[in-house]
Structure 1
Amino acid sequence: METTQRTVNGFKPEDITATINALKEDPALAKFQWRARNKWISGGHNRSRIQDFYGGGKEDASRTEPFVVDNAEPPILLGNNEGPNPVEFILHGLAGCMTTTMVLHAAAHGISIDSVETSLTGDWDAQGFLGLDENVRNGYQQVNVNFKIEGDLTEEQKEQLISFAKKSPVYDIVTHGVPVKVGLQEAEAVI
C-alpha cells in the first residue's frame, strides 16, 4: 500500500519539524557560508560561478555543476545586455528570498497558499554611482515590494504572510547594513 506524504506549499511539514529540531539540538548546524566567484569578461560584462558552500556542519557536495550567471549593463549604461545588471539581481534575490521565506513559514504554520506573485521596483539615480552628485546615494533610493497572494485566506492571514516574508535573509541584508570587507587576493603563481 502506497502512502502519500502531505505537503503544504511544496514542503513536507515533518521535514520542517525535523530541520528545526536538529538546529535546536545543535545550533552549529545553522552556520552557513555561501560563496560566489566572479570574473570580468569585457566592459560591464562579468560572470559568476556559484557551486560550493558550507552548511549543516560540513562542506556541501550536492551541486555537481556550478550555476553560471552573467551580469552586464543595458546600452544606456554602456553595456550590451549580456545579462541583467547587478542591481536587478538584487531585486531578483529579494523577491526569491521573501517569497520562499513566506511560503516556508506559512507551511510551518499550516497555512496553505495557492499562488504568490511579486512585483518589485527599485528607484536608482546614476549620479551617485558616477560621482556626479555626492548627495545622491550610490545604490537604490527606495525599493517597493508588492505581493499578490491567492488562496482561501483572510486579510489577517495575508498580513501574517507579509510578516513572514520580512523574516527573509535577503530582506534583512537589504534593510540593515551588513559589514563588507574588501581586500586583495594574492595572484596565483604561473608555472
Structure 2
Amino acid sequence: MTLLQDQISAVSDVTPAERAQRLNDAGAAWNERIAADAGSAQLTYRVSGRGIGSVATEIRAGKHRFIVDEPSALAGDDVAASPVEYALGALVSCQVVVYRLYAQALGLTIDEIEITAEGDLDVRKLFGIDESGRAGFHDIRVKVDITGPDSPEQYENLRQVVDAHCPVLDLFAGTVPTSSALV
C-alpha cells in the first residue's frame, strides 16, 4: 500500500454522523475560545522549505513533510506535484472543508463532494520572455459536484456562502500584502 493510500484510509472511515459531531464540536469550541479572547482568532501559519534535487523543494509544515517539484519540461525531476498544482490543491481542499463546515451550519446534507480547479498560466513572465503579463494564474475555474437530498437552490446558496468564507479562495481572489527579504 502506498503512503497516499495509508493517508486516505486513515481519514475515510468517518461516518456522516461523526463528521457532523466533529464540525459542531469544532465550531462550538472556536466560538467559545474567541468569545473569551478575541485575540485567539488570529492564527499564524509557518511553512518552510529547502531546495533538493534539480528544482525540487522539501516542505516542512508542522509535523508534516512533503515534496514539491516540477515536470522535466521545467527542469524538474517530476517526483511530485508542482507549486501551482499544490496551489490549486490548496484551493480545492480548502473549498471541501468550508463546504462541509457551512453545509453543517445550514442544515444541508452533502453525500459526496468533488471539486476540480483548473488554472491557466502563461510562462512567458516566468522565463523573462515578456514582462507585461502575470507570473501566476490569469484565470481559474472551480467546478463543484455535490450530491445530496437538498435542492439545487440550497446548494447554490451554499456555494455563495462558501465562496465568501473560503480562506484560500480569498488568497486567489484578493491581493494579500506580501513582503520578501533576504536573511
Report the alpha carbon displacement of residue 141 of structure 1 after superposing the two structures with TM.
0.9
Residue among 174, 177, 180 paired with 1:176: 174
Q: Which has the larger radius of gyration?
A: 1
Higher relative CO (Cα under 8 Å, sequence separation at least 6) belongs to 1
Report the alpha carbon displacement of residue 91 of structure 1 after superposing the two structures with TM.
0.3
Report the alpha carbon displacement of residue 135 of structure 1 after superposing the two structures with TM.
2.1
| Residues 1:12 and 1:136: Cα distance change in structure 2 (over 3 Å) | closer
Query: Is the contact between residue 36 and residue 50 of structure 1 (CA under 8 Å) also seen in structure 2?
Result: yes
Report the alpha carbon displacement of residue 32 of structure 1 after superposing the two structures with TM.
0.6
**1:111 match:** 108
Report the alpha carbon displacement of residue 47 of structure 1 after superposing the two structures with TM.
0.7
| Residues 1:158 and 1:42: Cα distance change in structure 2 (over 3 Å) | same
**1:146 match:** 143
Q: How does the TM-score come out when normalised to structure 1?
A: 0.81
4+ long deviations beyond 6 Å: none
Q: Which digits, 9 at most, give the CA deviation of each residue in 1:160-188, with x for residues without a partner?
A: 22123211111111111111111122xxx
Report the alpha carbon displacement of residue 7 of structure 1 after superposing the two structures with TM.
4.6
| Residues 1:130 and 1:9: Cα distance change in structure 2 (over 3 Å) | farther
Q: How does the TM-score come out when normalised to structure 2?
A: 0.84
Which amino acid in the other structure matches residue 182 of structure 2? L
Q: How does 1:59-138 map to 2 (within 5 A)?
A: 66-138=63-135
Query: Is the contact between residue 9 and residue 113 of structure 1 (CA under 8 Å) also seen in structure 2?
Result: no
Q: Which digits, 9 at most, give the CA deviation of each residue in 1:103-151, with x for residues without a partner?
A: 1011122222111101111101111111101222100011100000010
Structure 2: unaligned runs, 5 residues or longer: 1-16
Aligned residues: 166
Say which structure is richer in helix.
2
Partner Cα distance (1:122, 1:104) in 2:
25
Partner Cα distance (2:49, 2:23) in 1:
35
Partner Cα distance (2:31, 2:103) in 1:
15
Residue among 38, 49, 53 paired with 2:60: 49
Greater displacement, 19-28 / 117-126: 19-28
Q: Secondary structure at the residue paired with 1:112?
A: coil
Q: Which digits, 9 at most, give the CA deviation of each residue in 1:32-89, with x for residues without a partner?
A: 11011110013211111111xxxxxxxxxxxxxx211101100111211121110001
**2:37 match:** 26
The share of aligned pairs that are identical, in percent, is 27
**1:3 match:** none
Partner Cα distance (2:124, 2:20) in 1:
43
